[in-house]
Chain A
Amino acid sequence: MATSDREHGRRAPTLRPDLVALTEWIAPGERVLDLGCGDGVLLRHLIDTKGVVGYGIENDPARIVACIERGINVIQSDLDEGLADLQDGHFDHVIMSQALQAMHNTQGILQEMLRVGHEAIVSFPNFAFWKHRKSILEGHMPVSESLPHQWFNTPNVRFFTVADFTTLCGLLDIEVREWRGFDDQGRPVQEDLNFLAALAIARIGRRA
């Protein structure tokens, strides 16, 4: 599901900066659901460092086996079909790391995340990163660390920016409580995320 997820193989991988950043938002012992959990690296990290009760949802057979080998609770499911088996408010945090851009039912899954979780954390490649803008100006679709595929083979189906995501949240009565951004070297971005961040992370919740 996650499209720029390069973390395969058995060796202990280095966590992507966005995963390290979102760990700060998780309190010890929380109930966490990771949508599109890949091979379980993030959940393993959250279990080891925060003692969370964690579950991952994944639909790729090889990644499910990888999660099982890693000792991660993984549940096979197609996220585009929603989270109907899960009760309202069961999780403290629902995480979707670099998977939203590959989903068709964008609005539905955001609503579902905030139905089963008190808060959600969404990370995604920012299409408006300045190098991507430059690429478009030069006449080509951007290909980069955060958007690693060519236009003809990308699994991404939704292309959006930090600004677009903010607008959508407004429409869905969702508030963005905190942003983090990283440039294409993985360095934190302090200002103008929509221009300077290759990768953005939002902590979101229901507007009171």
Chain B
Amino acid sequence: MSTMATDPQPLVMGRYYLIKLLGKGSFAKVYKARHAETGEEVAIKIMDKDHLAKSGAEQQQIMSEIDIMRRVRHPNVVRLHEVMANKKRIFVVMELVRGGSLLGYLSRNRGVGEPAARRVFQQLVSAVEYCHSRGVFHRDIKPENILVDGKGDIKVADFGLSALADTKHDALLHTVCGTPMYIAPEVILNRGRGYDGVAADVWACGVVLFVIVAGCLPFSSVTDTGAMYRKIVRRQYDCPESLSPGLARLVRRILSPLPAQRITIPQIKQMPWFRRGFKEINFYIGSDECPRTLGDYHDLDSDSDDDSNSTVSSSEDPSSPVQHRGRRMHTSVSAPSLTSLEKEKDSSVPAMRRPKSLNAFDIIASSPSFDLSGLFDEPGEQMRFVSAAPVPKIIAKLEEIAGHVSFTARTKEHQVSIEATRNGLRGVLIISAKVFELTQDLVMVKVCKKAGDTAEYRQFCDKELKPGLRGLVDGMPPAGDSA
């Protein structure tokens, strides 16, 4: 790259050169950095560990969100590559977005008109909805976290990282100091305990929308926080007269102090103001379609043939990102070329690909009974079956089952695999199914739980998956035995 400096640059985590400081917050610094070997440019956020959330439940949540975020792709979400830590700090490696934050964009482009505001808001809502559907909440949406690229498209940063830095305290602190606040009233009133992440994110989107169109915060008070809360609770804010009635109505419905009465994302998307020019983007959890060497070896291995371990870890084991490192340098066998990936964005093509084949030792090594993890943790939820049916037929059947139970099935790149998500009663359930070749005529399908409630997963397996596959499958484990 052109900025190649002759000075020795600090090397972090043994593989990134810090190039320059991009931004600085109270607990974190963001650097532009370059991968030592590949030259790939990334952004690295470095945080002090003192500000980590500490409760066990929160940790699990963080880990599972990070795990999901590492696999999530959406055009308006900043990609998270990896998270690492040493004794003092946490390093979050993410996609480098050229441009700046929405804050800078707004100050440069004074008086952003409604069409431009709508575009930003549509993209913001699309990103938030997508992440929510995967069980990931932001909890700290604000213009500083919304990046604008050269084309004026936005990318939301820090999804799933909220609990890393203690944003709630941070926000409360800032509120007291009179700095901008985007935190939903119920979050502040509950001191961050037990609130609905979905509704809180919607609130923040509303404040952002207001800031874009009005150029100021809806509720703010430099001196009197009490007065500010009273205004929030009474929904008392000055709506600029210039706003179109449709927009004013939308803002009002978002800034409802009671989360239960606040408009939801599906409702927002029905609002006429929002719908103008809105194109629904159908996105998917991709795996590794980007030209990265760095992220690729993690996910490739874990996604392609490491189910038994990664299943357990992705939702339940706080050490999982660690596990995804170190052992990953290898399985590049099935890495597809970039061009083939580009073409395969539609979910209808898996039939063209050949599943990764398993040799005898693969079968042994990935066998749930050949796994010592049980000494340390509950065994993972995994199910395997063998079928002589053609791969496209299996995939079609899996998708049918997924559709039948209102799952959204997506076929991934570079391997024959589908991942399904649904919003169950106990949160989001993510299930993945992968197909491997055993012999010319036989394939093995591995189904495992990636995230979500175990009981709900088992119920899905027993009531929907297993009955649905009858006939296609040779060895179907008896009901109830999903380990």
Does B bind A? no
B interface residues with partner A (beta carbon < 8 Å): none
